[in-house]
Amino acid sequence: MKTRLILLGTGGRPRPRKANSAPAQVIVSNDTAYVIDCGNGVARQLAFADVPLSTVRHIFLTHHHSDHIADYGNLIWLAWCAGLRTRVDGWGPPPLERMTQLFFEMNACDIETRIADEERTPLLPLVHVHELSEGGPIMQDDNLAVTATLVDHPPVVPAFAYRFDASDRSIVISGDTLPSDNLIRLAEGADVLVHEVLYVPAIDRLAARVPNAAALKRSILSHHTPVEDAGRVAQAAGVKRLVLSHFVPPDDPAVTDQMWLDAARVHFRGEVILGRDLLEI
């Protein structure tokens, strides 16, 4: 059995763009898909990755920022339209339960039509939501065990990182966070750490595109991890591979691949992989 990790979207920030899709990852084990975060386009990225939507079994949300959750409801709804007829569990911070209910209420017209007209399995009984308020072991099945930890992403509270331990490898997804001691503990000895990264010198250019530049710059600097520090976290945790993802800025041509890699290697002695959409690791 091989546990696969595919990056579905690697650009931070909610603005749709050509360069990359919004944050999302999928772990596939035994034809079962575990989706972590649901940025805009996640269902289509799963199609590009050749992961059947009907195999989506668990969805984990790290925190309530639009670049991570915009297509949470859409993923379940479209997977059902694509033939999903088995249980789906959603995991994440409150108010995930209410969000899920309201999403299906908003789209009841289509859902009820398809059940009546196409004789589809009713969707709502398939969906089970689990709100998480603290870290710890959260689920285990035949393929893997999942553990969460609280990370620091003010003002969004709570925000989580997740660790997936399968028989053949361990994978950690940082979510969005400042450099986090909890994350270092969660990732200890992991095979793969996918960590969000920020290139600090480029933030003025990113912020200059918008009228709320000063507030946006302050916000970004106050809740993300500079790429050099992502290397520091990976080194402290003793992970084998550091995968850079959730790039901020997500599409500034002045920040080259080599600049990201060089900065990550300042403090990390293991292997660094530059994330890109649909890369399998």
Q: Which is nearer to Zn ion, 69 or 239 (CB)?
A: 69
Region from 37-45, 73-81, 144-152, 173-181 binding Zn ion, contact rule CB under 5 A: 173-181
Quick count: other Cβ atoms within 10 Å of Cβ 240? 14
Gap between the Cα atoms of 154 and 159, Å rounded: 9
Total number of residues that touch Zn ion (CB under 5 A): 2
For Zn ion, the closer CB: 169 or 223? 223
Rounded CA-CA distance 243/274 in Å is 6
Q: Output the smallest distance, CB 239 to Zn ion, in A.
A: 22
Return the structure tokens found at 201: 């010198």
65 binds Zn ion per the rule CB under 5 A: yes
Q: H helices of 96-241, where?
A: 96-106, 108-118, 181-186, 203-207, 213-223, 227-237
Contact 172, 161 (CB under 8 A): yes
User: Looking at 61-69, 205-213, 245-253, 267-275, which segment touches Zn ion (CB under 5 A)?
Assistant: 61-69
- Does position 196 interact with Zn ion (CB under 5 A)? The reply is no
SS3 225: coil
CB of 62 to Zn ion, least distance (A): 8
Q: Which stretch binds Zn ion (CB under 5 A): 64-72, 76-84, 231-239, 261-269?
A: 64-72
Among 37, 152, 176, 196, the residue binding Zn ion under the rule CB under 5 A is 176
Stretch that binds Zn ion, among 31-39, 59-67, 160-168, 189-197 (CB under 5 A): 59-67
246 counts as binding Zn ion under rule CB under 5 A: no
**Phi-psi group of 190: left, alpha or beta (phi > 0 → left; psi -120 to 50 → alpha; rest → beta):** beta
Provide the minimum distance between the beta carbon of 68 and Zn ion in the complex, in angstroms, as a whole number: 6
Q: Strand 136-140's sheet: what is its strand order?
A: 136-140, 144-151, 159-166, 170-173, 192-198, 241-248, 271-274
Our CB check for Zn ion shows the closer of 66 and 86 to be: 66
Stretch of 13-21, 130-138, 176-184, 257-265 lying at the interface with Zn ion (CB under 5 A): 176-184
| Lookup: tokens for 118 | 């196409």
- Residue 152 or 165: the one with the smaller Cβ distance to Zn ion is 152
Least Cα distance to 34 among 187, 188, 139, 185 occurs for 139
> Interface with Zn ion by CB under 5 A: which residues?
65, 176
